[in-house]
Chain A
């Protein structure tokens, strides 16, 4: 079983108990070669774990240092643990405002993505009508093309709709660009759900919409959670779209955008610990969300590439 199977999303990807037939067998490579290889490969695994987490820990610790200490001894523990840099980053460097801006855009757009994505997916998965396949491939085809290619005309489309530099514009763009994967993922999910309950509800007189909202959506909850977290992370981390479509007012910058600007300007202002504090503030919530929901995140992220 792979994580590509939507029904497997809620369960761990790696299962499979050992066959009892082999229980008594001795491993073939339990000799010296096996042990050397084990030490060697374990060393590699530990090394990469340090490489993956080390920079994050370093940035976190640097937020407690003074800027002078960061420049003099980057490779040391902070002398004191004060939260000054965090307060500075949150208020003076506008990280608080950028976080709010990101929330204002990302929360509605994740909800919108889930609603419209699953509506389209439900219709495509469970109804026969002319053009069904065409619309499905129209959506799914969007997964393959580079977003960056469309950015120049997209800028002018939004400008003509008077949506440039507005949160509403970004919300609509985020939803539109999340639809391909969401529709693809949810279509597969709705296909796996049993049809008998929906049919029973229909016989009892429920309308199509009622069946969708009161029967199918509750049944699709595991899939919706996966795709919701997946879209939250993706949209929260978006950089190209806000950078190109939200340029007018620095106060309206989203978190990623604001942080990147901050990184450039801190080079001149010299508030290094403030920058690291901002980096930490931007990093921690995402890491917490991921660690809590890591199984769903990994399932969601890998489902698309495996199919």
Chain B
């Protein structure tokens, strides 16, 4: 496609007066080609030339499927043939009677609340230690602990790995046969704690949650580090003068100053939790959502309905419900923060 844009270059050059070296549009050029209208024409031809490929790709592959989801959710489409009819909101009323839908929704809500809470909490603590929590060496009011650069690189490792790799890795860590977790427990004398981690319906979802937290903490450490780095050092100096210790500094200085970042991150983390739960559950868990549907989540339910059960229309209704859940979550998360704002100050 690069040739397209090069073709535009040639056209423009040709029309602009033959050679690229002569200044077109300058006094002396004469005729239509030096008129402002021609320059406008060239400008718009350039703009449309540069926008057409990205826009067409984006419209066909991103916007149109997104909009089609809403339309198909009102049909009884199987996905196997092109025949279907519009059935109104039947798919949505079917959702209400679908036990697996409610179960998946419940699990997604656990992940939606739990993952951001734990990952952001740990991320905040580590970021504070790495940026502000160090001893005040060389008279700096705020400095990180020793080795903070190395920590930041290490903590970020899980984040750069594919979710598929993380899931395969942890599936093996949880494996009751030769898995790392049971091996470590036996090694430190806690052999009685050994479990079939992902095979126990009571704890399987928690095990998935732990992996998601593990994979995401590094991102929030780096993110909050960047936010904390933008706080002026003078503020820490003032706090230090007032005799604030690290705990007070954290809660009274750092936390309020980056609260906006935390709030956006919470929403972002929640959306991530919903989306990435697909790969974790598909790869890690017994029978993709088991045992006994104890780890089934909405994206996996949707995928099964569309590509396994031949209920593409119903699947898109699950998709629409995911959007609704995401939006409710985002609105709640953003408004709760605002209310707390009014109480505190």
Q: A residues bordering B, Cβ < 8 Å?
A: 1-4, 13-16, 18-19, 21-25, 27-30, 33-34, 37-38, 41-42, 44-45, 48-49, 51-53, 55-56, 58-59, 70-75, 112, 115-117, 119-120, 122-123, 127, 129, 135, 138-139, 142, 144-157, 172-173, 175-177, 179-180, 183, 203-210, 212-213, 233, 236-240, 243-244, 255-257, 259-260, 262-263, 272, 275-276, 279, 282-283, 286-287, 289-291, 294, 297-298, 301-302, 305-306
Q: Which residues on B sit within 8 Å (CB–CB) of A305? A: 223, 264-265, 268
Q: Which residues on A sit within 8 Å (CB–CB) of B141? A: 18-19, 22
Near A by CB (< 8 A), chain B positions 171-186 give: 171-173, 177-180, 182-184, 186
A176 to B49, CA, bound (A): 17
Contact in complex: A210, B20 (CB < 8 Å):
yes
Contact in complex: B240, A27 (CB < 8 Å):
yes
Whole-angstrom distance between the Cβ of A263 and the nearest chain B Cβ: 4
A85 to B258, CA, bound (A): 48
Q: Which residues on A sit within 8 Å (CB–CB) of B219? A: 301-302
Contact in complex: A236, B154 (CB < 8 Å):
no
The tally of CB-CB contacts under 8 A between chains A and B is 356
> 1/0 contact trace for B314-336 toward A, CB 8 Å?
01100110110010000000000
Given contacts A116-B54, A120-B51, A240-B279, contact A29 B133 (CB under 8 A): no
Q: Which residues on A sit within 8 Å (CB–CB) of B223? A: 301-302, 305-306
Contact in complex: A48, B226 (CB < 8 Å):
no
Given contacts A74-B182, A75-B183, contact A259 B159 (CB under 8 A): no
Q: B residues bordering A, Cβ < 8 Å?
A: 1-2, 5-6, 8-9, 12-13, 16-17, 20-24, 26, 42-44, 46-47, 49-51, 53-55, 57-58, 60-66, 68-69, 72, 79, 122, 125-126, 129-131, 133, 135-136, 138-141, 144-145, 151-165, 167-173, 177-180, 182-184, 186-187, 214, 217-219, 222-223, 225-227, 229-230, 233-234, 237, 240-241, 243-247, 261, 264-265, 268, 271, 274-275, 278-279, 282-283, 299, 302-303, 306-307, 312, 315-316, 319-320, 322-323, 326
A153 to B243, CA, bound (A): 60
Q: Which residues on B sit within 8 Å (CB–CB) of A255? A: 162
Given contacts A301-B159, A306-B227, contact A152 B283 (CB under 8 A): no
Additional pairs, 20, CB under 8 Å, beyond known A145-B66, A260-B282: A14-B229, A18-B233, A25-B241, A27-B240, A34-B246, A119-B53, A135-B51, A144-B271, A148-B322, A149-B319, A150-B65, A150-B68, A151-B306, A153-B72, A179-B62, A205-B24, A207-B20, A237-B160, A244-B307, A290-B160
Contact in complex: A237, B245 (CB < 8 Å):
no
Given contacts A25-B139, A42-B145, A150-B69, contact A263 B171 (CB under 8 A): yes
Q: Which residue of A has the minimal Cβ distance to B321?
A: A149
Q: Which residues on B sit within 8 Å (CB–CB) of A213? A: 5, 9
A18 to B165, CA, bound (A): 42
Whole-angstrom distance between the Cβ of B264 and the nearest chain A Cβ: 7
Contact in complex: B312, A283 (CB < 8 Å):
no
Q: Which residues on B sit within 8 Å (CB–CB) of A1? A: 229-230
Contact in complex: B170, A239 (CB < 8 Å):
no
A37 to B250, CA, bound (A): 13
Q: Which residues on A sit within 8 Å (CB–CB) of B217? A: 48, 52
Given contacts A27-B135, A52-B155, A306-B261, contact A19 B234 (CB under 8 A): yes
A3 to B53, CA, bound (A): 30
Q: Which residues on B sit within 8 Å (CB–CB) of A38? A: 135, 145
Q: Which residue of A has the minimal Cβ distance to B230?
A: A2
A144 to B225, CA, bound (A): 23
Q: Which residues on B sit within 8 Å (CB–CB) of A13? A: 225-226, 229
Whole-angstrom distance between the Cβ of B44 and the nearest chain A Cβ: 7
Given contacts A115-B1, A272-B178, A286-B162, contact A209 B12 (CB under 8 A): yes
Given contacts A208-B46, A237-B162, A260-B283, contact A120 B177 (CB under 8 A): no
Q: Which residue of A has the minimal Cβ distance to B323?
A: A149
Contact in complex: B178, A70 (CB < 8 Å):
yes
Contact in complex: B42, A208 (CB < 8 Å):
yes
> Which single member of B162, B319, B320 contacts A282 (CB below 8 Å)?
B162
Contact in complex: A239, B153 (CB < 8 Å):
no
Q: Which residues on A sit within 8 Å (CB–CB) of B157? A: 52-53, 56, 287, 290
Q: Which residue of A has the minimal Cβ distance to B218?
A: A52
Contact in complex: A279, B165 (CB < 8 Å):
yes
Q: Which residues on A sit within 8 Å (CB–CB) of B164? A: 237, 239, 256-257, 259-260
Q: Which residue of A has the minimal Cβ distance to B170?
A: A55
Query: Ordered nearest first, which 4 A-B pairs have the shortest CB separation?
Result: A74-B183, A237-B162, A256-B164, A75-B183
Select the residue from A147, A183, A236 with max chain B CB neighbours within 10 A.
A147
Contact in complex: A301, B323 (CB < 8 Å):
no
Q: Which residues on A sit within 8 Å (CB–CB) of B26? A: 203
Whole-angstrom distance between the Cβ of A25 and the nearest chain B Cβ: 6
Question: What are 6 pairs between A and B in contact, CB < 8 Å?
Answer: A18-B140, A24-B139, A179-B62, A237-B165, A238-B162, A259-B165
Q: Which residue of A has the minimal Cβ distance to B184?
A: A75
Given contacts A34-B246, A152-B312, A306-B226, contact A207 B162 (CB under 8 A): no
Contact in complex: A116, B160 (CB < 8 Å):
no
> Which single member of A33, A75, A112 contacts B187 (CB below 8 Å)?
A75
Q: Which residues on B sit within 8 Å (CB–CB) of A129? A: 43-44, 47
Whole-angstrom distance between the Cβ of B204 and the nearest chain A Cβ: 16
A1 to B233, CA, bound (A): 12
Whole-angstrom distance between the Cβ of A277 and the nearest chain B Cβ: 12
A213 to B133, CA, bound (A): 46
Q: Which residue of B has the minimal Cβ distance to A247?
A: B307
